[in-house]
């Protein structure tokens, strides 16, 4: 499994954004300072208020602002081009931002968006036959 911890400025807005993408919240691991987002059986996001996120950092370490500097790009695979477009559409409808234009390489298609805090998400589809 992979657990990705993301600092967020407005936990309620972030919960709403990620549930609008079709992900669920595991309330057992959520509280007033965090939300556990279930992306899949193998991928979970832990959305953390800045104060809670700071609890995991060594003293004196600043929390990065993804709106001004990109430290990571998170990528999710989709089962089709249509699923890529649908995910980006959901993100835009839920308050996400644009990142880069969609890229079509024939055998691979991808698009991207940012969440309300500026974390970058890429979604892509690759033709399974071309990967052989």
How do the domains of the chain map onto residue ranges? 2-54, 73-131
Quick one: CATH architecture of 2-54?
Roll (3.10)
Q: Which CATH architecture has domain 73-131?
A: Roll (3.10)
CA atoms of 13 and 19, how far apart (whole Å): 10
Digit-by-digit pLDDT tens for the chain (132 residues) are 999 999 999 999 999 999 999 999 999 999 999 999 999 999 999 999 999 999 999 998 999 999 999 989 999 999 999 999 999 999 999 999 999 999 999 999 999 999 999 999 999 999 978 866
Could you check whether 2-54 and 73-131 share the same CATH topology?
A: yes
């Amino acid at each position: 499994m992979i657990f990705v911890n993301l600092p967020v400025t407005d936990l309620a807005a972030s919960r709403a954004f990620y549930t609008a993408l079709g992900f669920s919240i595991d309330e057992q691991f959520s509280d007033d300072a965090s939300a556990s987002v279930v992306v899949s059986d193998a991928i979970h996001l832990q959305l953390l208020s800045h104060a809670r996120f700071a609890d995991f950092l060594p003293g004196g370490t600043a929390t990065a602002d993804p709106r001004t500097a990109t430290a990571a790009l998170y990528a999710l695979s989709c089962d089709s081009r249509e699923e890529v477009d649908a995910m980006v559409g959901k993100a835009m409808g839920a308050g996400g931002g644009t990142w880069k234009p969609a890229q079509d390489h024939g055998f691979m298609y991808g698009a991207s968006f940012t969440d309300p805090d500026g974390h970058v998400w890429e979604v892509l589809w690759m033709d399974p036959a071309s990967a052989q």
